[in-house]
Chains A and B, each alone.
Chain A
């Protein structure tokens, strides 16, 4: 049907057409509204939980709250590692109007360097919004006070307090406690591997060394959380929930800080170490390595200048000498004597003739005694008292290296003592297998002779010496040296009162060293006793007049090689090639309470008795105080003067068989 042109409008037809079209449009509107509504229905009903979760994760953030690190005390409750508030000036740039002008103003007020300001503006560009940025770390008290008075003038700028580790005794305790320092990338990686990074989310420092490192887990505590509502810019609107952190446990050490002070004083001006231990428990009473350094330097991040100074110092202050190997020299003679008795190559009454030298059959080399003209007839007790080298050359020759090293390993030489710091060295207990592995060379008999007087490749740490001496005085009962005495958990009881629970740490005993004949213990110990108590014996002088009944053994270790028949003179020898002085001691003789090992490097004059002995004496004097413990041995003065034993021996590693 072709449309016809109609001049007269058909209004009702038009109205009908329009009404039909309007109705269709209306149906369309209803349809579209239905689509809108069903879509919103699916969002608000079907996917409600999904969007509710997403809405919550938008606005709710868990802020980690760092736990306070546990404190460290000495055995008497003296605080050794404290947490001190450190104040820094922090800025939230978004909350400061006219940032540049205000930063300049505050910098003028508090005398903040231009460098710091530049650093701040650099950081401000990088940081996320509403995060605080440090303008000045470690404010002085005057700066804090000055700012507090003017704070109202600087909205958005505030003092941020944070607890940082503080070691009140600084270098006195550094080698033992170690220190806490900023968590670095390596630490982060390690924490991730151990699955602990979540617990460290708010923590800034971590134990890097010593006890702080060893007991990191106990000291650190458990992270807390603050559940906050934030807006789209990350600004905190309010706190919804708070789970407080659980602070780390406090540690009480076996260490006696007063004894530690004495150790430091006794070693002042010397390079060396002293370890004092309770043989009944294995608890370390004092352990000091001189020179030391201030651990506090590392807490705030040590400057490279200061660090280089420590690194490059010839005295190596960073090294904990208590757990580094030294040639033990004559201090191990009692242990060797015990080995001889146990292996039945000698008896208590075995006597040898000491002409002042010893020569292996068919070899030209002469092994000399420290006493040029010899000691004459020498039995076991005299050999220890006088530290007779010839006796021990012969003994070592008879024993052979394998029997020696096997027995010495049972005393713990050449192995970790198990002390609760990680810096320990195993030192070296040489054996045939060891030499094969280390140098790919056979063992030579001449080396066995040197081992017989604690030289050659043999090194022991002062700590190993105390452990071995402990085994000796305990007649084979072995103890693990340790610092930790007890842990203390701070908490609140049901009434909300703070209370702490002390937990003594129990150390498992190691498998005892059992001898075929028990009396051998006594024999050797008595010899050590008379070494101190008998006038004229090598360790008599340092303990003269002591009010307690001490026993001990000296040692002087040759550091540099001495040529055949060359005479050693400390004065003409380079400082770092001079002899080391060693000393071990215990007291009282009956039921010992303390064992001490001393090592002093490159002494100018004399040996273990004159240099290291007095250090042990001072430690014990302090330990026993005014307690009088009488000697059980007759202490009659002899006719001859004591002389410090020194071993002038041949270079032991020169091969005789060549």
Chain B
């Protein structure tokens, strides 16, 4: 019995040496595999699209494994310069960025197009976690105010592109760090109050027409069923008509007959729900919950305030991804362009996402060092 215990310990050590967190990896891989099946179904049953996605996944996993090898505490050294560089790039995007899909998001570097907001998804939690963890917890108000300013800068720059989804993620990643660092409940209450007071200002002065339209559509999609309401109506029809056990893989009429827009990207959850029903949704949500639990477990067990805050922020931001996407596709949130993490077809955000998981794995496996 002891021998088998030792054996287990040895196996654990092997994964530890490879800097791989096995439960997290299994959760990620199972979602990716599921994603490939749904992408096949949603993408007009074309193998080409599946191959492309598979290649991206492999690249993303490699990125994750590479990042997992880097000791997490060393991120702190790079936090400030990379954050500043990131801000400069965001400014550059606004000044001479590449316009695509109605928004300025890309920097054309000549040999490749580069989306600085993706880097910021990683660097903002690192920056805030580093900034806060320099002092003792719970975090003080003066630190919080400064941290807010740090978060607000990239958030506003990205919102200006406009890329509401990403700016939302970046803001949440910063806010989560502040929350986990023990910001007082009183302060949280004040912030929530201020936030609700700010909402009409946001609506009146800061939101663009199309964004206001999205909110209106969200509130009443049937108002314009063939226009702005079309996406969400068709998506709800797809989900609802899936029923408890779904129409079956490749049998979803809403997706196969192309009534559903953005089937293999942002609205892939509707395809999944239509074909696999409530049972499938339960399983999918369970896997996400499992990944979140594992991430939080890693955070709680991290040995340094910086890594705790970082791991917690990465995990909770991942959940925001899931919540916003599913909430939008099922009609309880306005349409914000965010993919379903690990499942939707798409490149850049997948790499960033797995880089984040790489950091989680690093935090989970580098614990014996730098105590």
Contacts and interface: CB of A to CB of B under 8 A. Distances in A.
Contacts of B273: 40, 44
Contact of B176 (A25, A39, A51, A231): A25
Interface string B302-331: 000100110010001001000100110011
A412 B154 CA distance: 98
B296 A26 contact: yes
A22 B327 contact: no
Interface in A1-60: 3, 6, 9-10, 13-15, 17-19, 21-22, 25-26, 29-30, 32-33, 35-37, 39-41, 43-45, 47-48, 50-52, 54-56, 58-59
B258 A52 contact: no
Interface in B228-252: 234, 236-244
Contacts of B236: 43, 51
A59 B179 contact: no
A204 B136 CA distance: 85
Most chain A C-beta atoms within 10 Å of own C-beta, residue among B239, B241, B258, B281: B241
A29 B286 CA distance: 12
Main secondary structure of the interface of A (DSSP, over half): helix
A29 B140 contact: no
Interface in B183-242: 234, 236-242
Given A40-B278, A58-B237, A229 B182 contact: no
A48 B243 contact: yes
A45 B254 contact: no
B136 to A, nearest CB: 5
A19 B258 CA distance: 46
Interface string B251-287: 0011001110000000000000100011001100100
Contacts of A21: 179-182, 312
A19 B308 CA distance: 9
Contacts of B282: 37
A230 interface: yes
Contacts of A45: 243-244, 278
A51 B240 contact: yes
Contact of B136 (A6, A32, A44): A6
A25 B278 contact: no
Q: Report the contact-size class of chain A (Cβ under 8 Å from the partner).
A: 35 or more
B124 to A, nearest CB: 18
Contact of B243 (A15, A22, A33, A52): A52
B243 A55 contact: no
A26 B312 CA distance: 10
Interface string A252-280: 00000000000000000000000000000
A237 B296 contact: no
Given A39-B332, A55-B237, A29 B292 contact: yes
B240 A48 contact: yes
Nearest to A10: B136
B253 A59 contact: yes
Contacts of B24: none
Interface string A216-258: 0000000000000111110001000000000000000000000
**Which of B179, B259, B292 has the most chain A CB within a 10 Å cutoff?**
B259
B138 interface: yes
A32 B300 contact: no
Contact of B293 (A18, A26, A40): A26
Contacts of A44: 239-240, 242-244, 273, 277-278, 281
B136 A36 contact: no
B-side interface size class? 35 or more
B325 to A, nearest CB: 10
Contacts of B299: 18, 22
Contact of B241 (A40, A54, A232): A54
A14 B305 contact: yes
Given A36-B326, A237-B257, A25 B281 contact: no
Contacts of B58: none
B145 interface: no
B258 A22 contact: no
Nearest to B278: A44
A36 B180 contact: no
B137 interface: yes
Interface string B25-51: 000000000000000000000000000
B272 to A, nearest CB: 11
A52 B240 contact: yes
Contacts of B243: 44-45, 48, 52
Contacts of B137: 13-14, 17-18
B261 to A, nearest CB: 9
Given A18-B308, A19-B300, A40-B281, A58 B180 contact: no
Contact of B258 (A6, A55, A232): A232
Contacts of A6: 136
A37 B323 CA distance: 11
B240 A43 contact: yes
A283 B242 CA distance: 65
Interface in A416-468: none
A21 B180 CA distance: 5
B264 to A, nearest CB: 15
B316 A25 contact: yes
Nearest to B258: A232
A41 B326 CA distance: 13
Contacts of A48: 240-241, 243-244
Contacts of A3: 140
B315 to A, nearest CB: 9
Contacts of B88: none
Most chain B beta-carbon contacts within 10 A, residue among A13, A15, A19, A44? A44
B330 A58 contact: no
Contacts of A41: 278
A128 to B, nearest CB: 13
Contact of A58 (B176, B253, B296, B305): B253
19 contacts: A15-B308, A17-B182, A18-B308, A18-B312, A29-B292, A29-B319, A36-B285, A37-B281, A40-B281, A40-B330, A43-B239, A44-B243, A44-B277, A45-B243, A48-B240, A55-B254, A58-B234, A230-B257, A231-B259
Given A45-B243, A56-B241, 9 more contacts: A9-B136, A22-B180, A22-B300, A25-B316, A35-B327, A36-B285, A36-B323, A44-B242, A55-B254
Interface of B: 136-138, 140, 176, 179-182, 234, 236-244, 253-254, 257-259, 273, 277-278, 281-282, 285, 288-289, 292-293, 296, 299-300, 305, 308-309, 312, 316, 319, 323, 326-327, 330-332
Listed from nearest, the 4 A-B pairs whose CB atoms lie closest are A51-B240, A55-B241, A231-B257, A43-B240
Interface of A: 3, 6, 9-10, 13-15, 17-19, 21-22, 25-26, 29-30, 32-33, 35-37, 39-41, 43-45, 47-48, 50-52, 54-56, 58-59, 229-233, 237
